[in-house]
């Protein structure tokens, strides 16, 4: 007899009751995870992927109800269990780890006790339970586990908290571990560590995994098989590599094309997009759920819902799985011929010796950089790197420490800027919910910017407004709506329109796509590239995502703990030779297809900005630390492999 | 809904009371004094033979002027103070927090007692005292709301367009803190009604011979030991209904804004 | 870390009390104007007025008067009453003793009741029992104490005749008799606090029940009892504990009315009488005492909160 699958979901129909109506969230969902297998479930926001996780542990919100189908964990029907049997099942067979570990741990209990609780439940005496808890933390490769066990969750970093959460989940020695966006919100280098840890403990313990993520690359690195969820339906499933290499469903095909990956740059043309919007939950019956957005859809697709076709070890919910790869591009091909940035002249914006200290926190130290007309400078760094502080300093939202200068056209800017100086430099913020006043209509948001920045007089205002909103591909009917009535992508278009109202010469883009789904992200990146090509605007593009930076940036600056590590032409920074920190960032970023060649691992945690390491700030984690010189002396600038490429490291460029 | 209906009822009583009631609320009738409720006098009569029902209906007037006025004063002052301190911070802000700390150490009734003893009890002073005490308390709520709004990027965006302080405060921020202000105003109105009634009861609020609920209870609660319960009960019910009405509205507003 | 937080908190309390003393002094000694005239009547002999002013030191500069008053207060000399022509301190002490008794009875009743009620309602959120607790709580809290007091007197004292309608127990009564006399006066205070505390407890519990850490605890397979006591209530009731102290203000405000209504010789009726008679030294001393008690209670609450919540203890704010 073969052992029961770790998780079997059979024809699950699930709905949330909203205002007396059942709104369907999952539709006839089936999946099966064998013992020890790792299965990845990917989907965009609203696809229902988190609901799958909650359904698999029977922890649905009070308004969630199973309308049909079964969920079997280790062969036992989860929804047929009595409360005590359910508790025992959770205590032995299935565990879950989710996003935001800071909230998953009880704030008022020491983490060691929280882990030990499980061993006490298994009947161990307190002292023994504690020892086991410390052992478990040690297995999560936590250095000094005994002292970590004595701390409260809020004293641990996000990565450390997630290790504790995973330790707790594995303490029951479960057959199935469910991970719901376990690394979302963590820094890339930390994410890489956690993913590696997950892969490793899985190999050691033989636990089956259900890994849920919006990030295809995360799943690609960890899972044997992958399922693609769209609007509550599984549209494609198969071995991970096969699905990502040769997708057989138009949605998967479109999703892969949206990603700025494999070194794509703006001069290669636009990214492809998936047109339209996903259906609202419970909306759209009859026919294929993806048909309204599919370039291949036929009358049959719109009338008849496709079954899951078995393609020999793979499944696709498409009438024409063999045609999927021929999905026509939805975005126009080329970009308007872009203005080649001219770096021979003087820079339009320059920062010299910029620093910022907030109380005891040294957010930024001695940063100098220059931006030329029409170019994009990508700013890359993890949390605490000071990238947002740098943006705010350049914009004049906060005053730099004495000695730092921001110069526009070679003239130093005062804190109180003149109207033409304000107009020259604008920003697109990360979170449009915060950046757009929810009390004002789109017309007013953009119109006010035209009045203040472009000094547009009344008679021209309406025409200019339409011209501007159309240039960011915002349909006229949205003008009277408030931001809360718009989707994330549309909101970001409004924010972009506002930034461009005064025809700025420089726009700071502070992680403008990080809150967006991939398909929406692609269209925003296309828009930014197009606006730049048409208007010659220079960008300072801040991101933690190397793929998006690479797509848009001509030059890249790498920040760590408020200091520049490296700056240079984009392709040079990617190809190297580069700073050891850049090297580790590049190798930490999860990639979709293969390339799991030797990762540069970073030791330890990002130090606190209050208590910065002496010498080179990176020496505490540097895998190529030379010795005492790195602890004592701050490295001077080294010219890199070509002009304009600079590296701050004690190691000679030739050896990097 | 129920709350609004109750308030509306008392507002009508306050406005049109004298025209509606069966007896002149001031007309005494010594021979018919202390009559229990009957068909002629629904709520009985008091020691001077005045009709209790008529006096209860007309008694809505003063409290419905004093409490809303005091609230309006406090909210108006508090909104301006809260907007300014929440956005500009600085010394005024620190001063405000200390002042709020001080006010929180004393119950409103005691502050009012001290002030009324010092400057003399009158309806106008009740309005001013409650209004002045409410100002920093409202300001604290508004300030907290403004503080969280001021950290949002739309304020930074406004500064980057070169908007001036007053524009940012009143056009950008104010509409987004209107919810908390509305809630605060309704809650404060509840406290004001509570306080005015209490002050009247202890003789520092509305002064006789005005018909007033708190006053009537204070003048007559000594009689309940002797079985004369209707005067006190009728007035107590009136106070209770108004307070409950205001608070139901406050709750309703809060819930409506939460969703 | 804990020491530093508490030191800062104590310093803030002292500043608050100092400001309070200035405001009270200004209110009591500067605002009223010619106190002597008010006390002695408009037709009083100018020499009597001068004499009064000299006797009470009112002819000196305000700053000197303030200093005398506040330094006396710190050393236990609270000044002399205008009306009683004797030191204030003994009256305050006696009244305080009475009020503390009444307040203690109310607190002992209300804290367990309201927490239990709030938690119970939260565990049955949305169901009938929840609505009942919430509705009763709301109405009890918002009604002025003199209204609930009157109704209680009517029901239990006049109609049912089971409890005395004043708190003025006979001379030499034992603790049990005293308690019997204190039940009716304490009930309006209990009602006033019940709604607020129960609401806090309910809200805290509902929030904790929905928190991710509770999900973690349930999914660990812990028995429900352990989830509730170790994980939910521990975090849920923290705000309520802090609020108990701050609600002391409402309690003392209620005392003024209740003590007047039930003819009880506590700090509330003392302040009331002093205000009626414009006996400012007595009034000021009473008000400042109330403020000091509140400040100490708030300090105690913050200390307890810091002891219970590691996040506050470590001064973390993320």
For the segment C123-159, what is each residue's pLDDT rounded down to a tens digit? 998 888 888 888 888 878 888 888 888 888 888 877 7
Q: What percent of chain B has pLDDT over 90?
A: 26
Q: Tell me which of A533-547, C28-42, C124-138, C197-211 is least confident.
A: C28-42
In whole angstroms, give the CA distance from residue C252 to residue B109.
9
Decide if A434 and B159 are in contact by the 8 Å CB cutoff: no
pLDDT score recorded for residue B256: 83
- CA A605 centroid distance within chain: 20
In whole angstroms, give the CA distance from residue C235 to residue C231.
7
User: Which residues in chain A have Cβ-Cβ distances shorter than 8 Å to B172?
Assistant: 437, 439
Decide if B106 and C139 are in contact by the 8 Å CB cutoff: no
User: Which residues in chain B have Cβ-Cβ distances shorter than 8 Å to A436?
Assistant: 154
Question: How far off is chain B from C31, nearest CA to CA, in Å?
Answer: 6
B221 touches chain C (CB under 8 A): yes
Question: What mean pLDDT do residues C266-289 have?
Answer: 87
Q: What percent of chain C has pLDDT over 70?
A: 93
User: Which residues in chain C have Cβ-Cβ distances shorter than 8 Å to A92?
Assistant: 221
User: Which residues in chain A have Cβ-Cβ distances shorter than 8 Å to B152?
Assistant: 434-435
Interface pTM (ipTM) of the complex?
A: 0.85
Cα torsion A552, A557, A559, A565 to 10°: value is 150
The model's pLDDT over B162-190, given as tens digits with 9 standing for 90+, comes to 999 999 999 999 999 999 999 899 889 98
Question: How far off is chain C from B142, nearest CA to CA, in Å?
Answer: 20
Question: Minimal CA–CA distance to B202: which of B220, B214, B189?
Answer: B214
Pick A104's closest partner by Cβ from C216, C222, C309. C216
Which structure tokens are listed for A36? 């020890």
Decide if C213 and A104 are in contact by the 8 Å CB cutoff: yes
SS3 A123: coil
Decide if B106 and C249 are in contact by the 8 Å CB cutoff: yes
Q: Nearest-5° angle of CA A462, CA A467, CA A468?
A: 100
User: Which residues in chain B have Cβ-Cβ distances shorter than 8 Å to A449?
Assistant: 161
Pick B102's closest partner by Cβ from C23, C254, C276. C23
Question: Minimal CA–CA distance to B2: which of B259, B203, B248, B258?
Answer: B248
Which structure tokens are listed for C161? 């005749």
* Conformation bin of residue A516: beta by default, left when phi > 0, alpha when psi is -120 to 50: beta
Using the CB atoms, write b or e for A232-241: b if 16+ within 10 Å: bbbbbbbebe
In whole angstroms, give the CA distance from residue C188 to residue C149.
5
Question: Minimal CA–CA distance to A348: which of A504, A499, A563?
Answer: A504
Question: How far off is chain A from C110, nearest CA to CA, in Å?
Answer: 26
Give C214's pLDDT tier (boundaries 50, 70, 90).
very high
Positive/negative CA dihedral, A454, A460, A465, A466: negative
Q: Name chain A's partners: 3 or more CB pairs within 8 A.
A: B, C
Question: Minimal CA–CA distance to A73: which of A60, A87, A57, A53?
Answer: A57
C127 touches chain A (CB under 8 A): no
Pairing between β-strand A405-408 and β-strand A411-412 as defined by DSSP bridges: antiparallel
Which structure tokens are listed for B66? 């004093």
Instruction: Identify whether the C-beta of residue B140 lies closer than 8 Å to the C-beta of residue B82.
Output: yes
C47 touches chain A (CB under 8 A): no
Question: Minimal CA–CA distance to A398: which of A359, A436, A430?
Answer: A359
C307 touches chain A (CB under 8 A): no
Cα torsion A621, A623, A626, A630 to 10°: value is -20
Question: Average pLDDT for consecutive 10-residue bins of chain A (656 residues)?
Answer: 85 90 90 94 90 94 91 93 94 92 91 94 94 94 90 90 94 94 88 90 91 92 93 94 93 90 80 85 78 91 91 92 87 65 86 91 91 93 89 93 92 89 93 94 94 88 91 90 91 95 94 88 91 92 90 93 92 87 88 64 77 87 88 84 87 82
Give C25's pLDDT tier (boundaries 50, 70, 90).
confident
Range ranked top by mean pLDDT from A490-494, C91-95, C155-159, C175-179: A490-494
More confident residue, A131 or C295: A131
In whole angstroms, give the CA distance from residue B133 to residue B131.
5
Instruction: Identify whether the C-beta of residue C169 lies closer than 8 Å to the C-beta of residue C101.
Output: no
B186 touches chain C (CB under 8 A): no
Q: Quick one: three-class SS letters along chain B? A: CHHHHHHHHHHHHHHHHHHHCCCCCCCCCHHHCCCCCCCCCCCCECCCCCEHHHHHHHCHHHHHHHHHHHHHHHHHHHHHHHHHHHHHCHHHHHHHHHHHHHHHCCCHHHHHHHHHHHHCCCHHHHHHHHHHHHHHHHHHHHHHHHHHHHCCHHHHHHHHCCCCHHHHHHHHHHHHHHHHHHHHHHHHHHHHHHHHHHHHHCCCCCCCCCCCHHHHHHHHHHHHHHCCCHHHHHHHHHHHHHHHHHHHHHHHHHHHHHC
Long-range contacts of A197-202 (CB under 8 A, 24+ apart): A197/A140, A197/A141, A197/A163, A197/A166, A198/A166, A198/A222, A201/A139, A201/A140, A201/A166, A201/A170, A202/A36, A202/A38, A202/A177
Q: In this structure, how many other beta carbons lie within 10 angstroms of the beta carbon of residue B258?
A: 8
User: Which residues in chain B have Cβ-Cβ distances shorter than 8 Å to C157?
Assistant: 225
Instruction: Identify whether the C-beta of residue B157 lies closer than 8 Å to the C-beta of residue A391.
Output: no
Residues with pLDDT less than 50, chain B: none
pLDDT score recorded for residue C38: 65
pLDDT score recorded for residue B259: 65
């Amino acid at each position: 007899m073969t052992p029961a699958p770790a998780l079997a979901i059979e024809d699950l129909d699930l709905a949330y009751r909203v205002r007396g109506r059942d709104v369907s969230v999952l539709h006839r969902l089936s999946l099966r995870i064998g013992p020890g297998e790792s299965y990845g479930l990917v989907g965009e926001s609203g696809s229902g992927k988190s609901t799958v996780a909650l359904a698999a542990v029977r922890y649905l919100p009070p308004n969630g109800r199973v309308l049909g189908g079964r969920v079997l964990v280790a062969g036992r029907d989860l929804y047929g269990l009595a409360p005590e049997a359910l508790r025992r099942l959770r205590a032995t067979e299935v565990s879950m780890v989710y996003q935001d570990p800071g909230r998953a741990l009880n704030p008022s209990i020491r983490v060691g006790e929280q882990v030990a609780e499980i061993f006490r439940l298994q009947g161990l005496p307190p002292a023994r339970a504690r020892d086991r808890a410390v052992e478990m933390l040690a297995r999560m490769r936590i250095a000094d586990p005994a002292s970590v066990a004595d701390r409260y969750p809020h004293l641990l970093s996000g990565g450390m908290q997630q290790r504790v959460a995973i330790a707790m989940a594995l303490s029951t020695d479960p057959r199935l571990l469910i991970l719901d966006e376990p690394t979302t919100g963590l820094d890339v280098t930390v994410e890489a560590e956690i993913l590696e840890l997950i892969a490793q403990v899985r190999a050691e313990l033989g636990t089956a995994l259900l890994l849920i993520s919006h990030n295809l690359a995360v799943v690609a690195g960890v899972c044997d098989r992958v399922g693609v969820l769209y609007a509550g339906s599984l549209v494609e499933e198969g071995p991970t590599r096969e699905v990502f290499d040769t997708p057989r469903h138009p949605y998967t095909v479109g999703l892969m094309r949206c990603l700025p990956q494999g070194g794509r740059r703006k001069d290669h043309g636009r990214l492809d997009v998936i047109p339209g919007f996903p259906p609202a939950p419970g909306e759209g019956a009859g026919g294929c759920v993806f048909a309204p957005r599919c370039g291949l859809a036929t009358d049959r697709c719109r009338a008849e819902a496709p079954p899951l076709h078995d393609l020999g070890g793979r499944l696709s919910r498409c009438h024409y799985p063999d045609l999927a790869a021929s999905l026509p591009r939805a975005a126009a091909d080329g970009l308007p011929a872009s203005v080649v940035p001219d770096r021979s002249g003087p820079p339009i914006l320059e920062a010299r010796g910029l620093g910022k200290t907030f109380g005891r926190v040294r957010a930024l130290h001695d940063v100098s950089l220059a931006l030329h007309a029409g170019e994009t400078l990508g700013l890359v760094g993890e949390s605490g790197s000071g990238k947002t502080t740098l943006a705010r300093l350049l914009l004049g939202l906060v005053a730099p420490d004495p000695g730092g200068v921001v110069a526009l056209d070679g003239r130093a800017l005062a804190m109180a800027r003149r109207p033409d100086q304000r107009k020259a430099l604008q920003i697109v913020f990360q979170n449009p919910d915060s950046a757009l006043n929810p009390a004002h209509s789109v017309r007013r948001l953009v119109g006010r910017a035209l009045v203040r920045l472009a000094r547009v007089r009344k008679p021209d205002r309406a025409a200019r407004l339409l011209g501007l909103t159309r240039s960011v591909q915002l349909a006229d009917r949205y003008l009277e709506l408030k931001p809360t009535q718009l989707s994330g992508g549309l909101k970001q278009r409004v924010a972009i329109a506002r930034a461009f109202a005064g025809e700025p010469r420089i726009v700071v883009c502070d992680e403008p796509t990080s809150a967006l789904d991939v398909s929406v992200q692609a269209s925003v990146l296309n828009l930014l590239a197009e606006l730049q090509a048409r208007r010659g605007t220079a960008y300072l593009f801040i991101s933690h995502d190397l793929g998006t930076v690479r797509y848009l940036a001509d030059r890249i600056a790498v920040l760590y703990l408020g200091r520049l590590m490296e700056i240079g032409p984009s392709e040079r920074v990617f190809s190297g030779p580069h700073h050891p920190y850049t090297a580790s960032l590049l190798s930490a970023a999860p990639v979709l297809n293969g390339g799991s060649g030797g990762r540069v691992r970073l030791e330890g945690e990002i130090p606190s900005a209050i208590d910065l390491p002496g010498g080179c700030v990176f020496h505490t984690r540097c895998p190529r630390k030379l010795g005492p010189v790195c602890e004592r002396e701050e490295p001077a600038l080294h010219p890199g492999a070509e002009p304009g490429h600079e590296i701050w490291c004690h190691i000679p460029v030739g050896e990097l | 809904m129920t709350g609004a209906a109750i308030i509306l009822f008392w507002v009508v009583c306050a406005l049109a009371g004298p025209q509606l009631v069966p007896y002149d609320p001031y007309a005494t009738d010594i021979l018919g004094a202390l009559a229990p409720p009957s068909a002629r006098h629904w709520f009985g009569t008091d020691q001077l033979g005045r009709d209790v029902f008529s006096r209860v209906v007309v008694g809505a007037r003063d409290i419905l002027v004093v409490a809303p006025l005091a609230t309006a004063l406090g909210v108006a002052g508090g909104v301006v103070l809260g907007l300014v301190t929440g956005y500009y911070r600085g010394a005024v802000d620190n001063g405000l927090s200390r002042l709020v700390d001080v006010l929180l150490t004393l119950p409103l009734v005691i502050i009012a007692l001290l002030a009324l003893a010092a400057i003399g009890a009158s309806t106008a002073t009740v309005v001013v005292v409650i209004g002045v005490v409410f100002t920093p308390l409202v300001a604290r709520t508004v300030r907290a709301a403004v503080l969280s709004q001021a950290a949002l990027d739309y304020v930074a965006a406004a500064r980057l367009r070169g908007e001036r302080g007053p524009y940012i405060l009143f056009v950008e921020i104010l509409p987004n803190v209107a919810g908390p202000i509305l809630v605060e105003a309704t809650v404060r109105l509840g406290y004001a009604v509570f306080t005015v009634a209490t002050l009247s009861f202890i003789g520092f609020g509305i002064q006789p011979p005005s018909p007033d609920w708190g006053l009537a209870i204070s003048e007559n609660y000594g009689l309940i030991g002797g079985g004369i319960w209707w005067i006190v009960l009728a007035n107590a019910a009136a106070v209770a209904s108004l307070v409950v009405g205001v608070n139901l509205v406050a709750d309703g507003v809060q819930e409506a804004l939460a969703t | 870390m804990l020491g530093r937080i508490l030191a800062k908190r104590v310093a803030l309390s002292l500043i608050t009390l100092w400001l309070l003393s200035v405001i009270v002094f200004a209110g009591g000694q500067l605002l009223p104007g010619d106190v002597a005239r008010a006390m002695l009547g408009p037709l009083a002999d100018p020499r009597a007025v001068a004499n009064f002013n000299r006797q009470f030191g009112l002819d000196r500069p305000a700053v000197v008067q303030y200093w005398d008053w506040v330094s006396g207060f710190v050393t236990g000399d609270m000044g002399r009453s205008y009306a009683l022509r004797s030191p204030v301190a003994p009256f305050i002490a006696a009244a305080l003793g009475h009020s503390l008794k009444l307040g203690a009875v109310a607190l002992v009743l209300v804290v367990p009741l309201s927490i239990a009620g709030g938690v119970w309602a939260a565990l049955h959120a949305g169901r009938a029992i929840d609505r009942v607790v919430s509705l009763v709580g709301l109405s009890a809290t918002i009604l002025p104490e003199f209204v609930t007091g009157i109704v209680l007197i009517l029901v239990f004292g006049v109609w049912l005749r089971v409890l005395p309608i004043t708190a003025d127990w006979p001379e030499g009564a034992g603790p049990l008799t005293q308690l019997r006399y204190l039940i009716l006066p304490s009930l309006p205070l209990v009602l006033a606090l019940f709604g607020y505390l129960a609401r806090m407890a309910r809200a805290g519990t509902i929030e904790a029940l929905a928190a991710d850490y509770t999900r973690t605890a349930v999914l660990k397979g812990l028995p429900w009892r352990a989830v509730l006591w170790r994980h939910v209530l521990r975090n849920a009731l923290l705000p309520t504990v802090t609020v108990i102290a701050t609600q002391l203000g409402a309690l003392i405000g209620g005392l003024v009315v209740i003590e007047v209504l039930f003819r009880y010789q506590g700090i509330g009726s003392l302040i009331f009488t002093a205000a009626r008679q414009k006996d400012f030294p007595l009034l000021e001393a009473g008000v400042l005492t109330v403020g000091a008690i509140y400040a100490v209670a708030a300090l105690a609450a913050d200390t307890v909160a810091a002891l219970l919540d590691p996040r506050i203890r470590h001064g973390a704010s993320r």
